[in-house]
Amino acid sequence: DPSSPKSPTSPSEKSGSLNVTKITEHGKKVRKSWMSSWAVLHGSTLVFAKGQGGGTSWFGGGQSKPEITVDLRGGSVDWASKDKSSKKHVIELKIRQGTELLIQSDSESVINDWLRALTDTISTHAWE
Ligand code: I3S
């Protein structure tokens, strides 16, 4: 749609391996369940699909949902405070409807790139 205010060179197209868990749903704290996932950012939609990439075995993940889809519009993202997780390189993503996720990678450059992409995406879609 050429009349769309969205730039065709939007930064919000990205994919890669990330670890993810919900920590809050509908404003209520939920039990952490880290999931090794393949994350795909497309427009303002971010999808975490289970079981592709990562390959680390320390997540358990037996009770994980196979997929998490989030709408980033109106959300916020920043580094997670230390009390949210003992892991390194953790991002906290707050989205609509009282949902909070933690996103983690063992790679500092990977997580830096994701923080930049998510920050850019949220500001790009701020007026929708
Ligand atoms: O915030 P918590 O409760 O320390 O999070 C840990 C738990 O989710 C733990 O699972 P159990 O529900 O079996 O205790 C996970 O194995 C840990 O990874 C969680 O802590 P980290 O610091 O890794 O996010």
> 38 alpha carbon to ligand 1 midpoint, in Å?
21
| Cα-to-centroid distance, 32 and ligand 1 (Å) | 6
Nearest atom (ligand 1) to Cα of 58 = 16
CB count within 10 Å of CB 50 equals 17
Contact indicator for 48, 18 with CB cutoff of 8 Å:
yes
Ligand 1 center to residue 95 CA distance, Å? 22
pLDDT tens digits, 78-100: 999 999 999 999 999 999 889 99
Q: What is the ipTM of this complex?
A: 0.88
| Alpha-carbon span 125 to 44, nearest angstrom | 7
Distance 22 CA to ligand 1 centre (A): 12
Other CB atoms within a 10 A radius of the CB of residue 82 amount to 8
pLDDT tens for 3-43 read 555 544 555 689 999 999 999 999 999 999 999 999 999 99
Atom of ligand 1 minimally distant from the CA of 33: 8
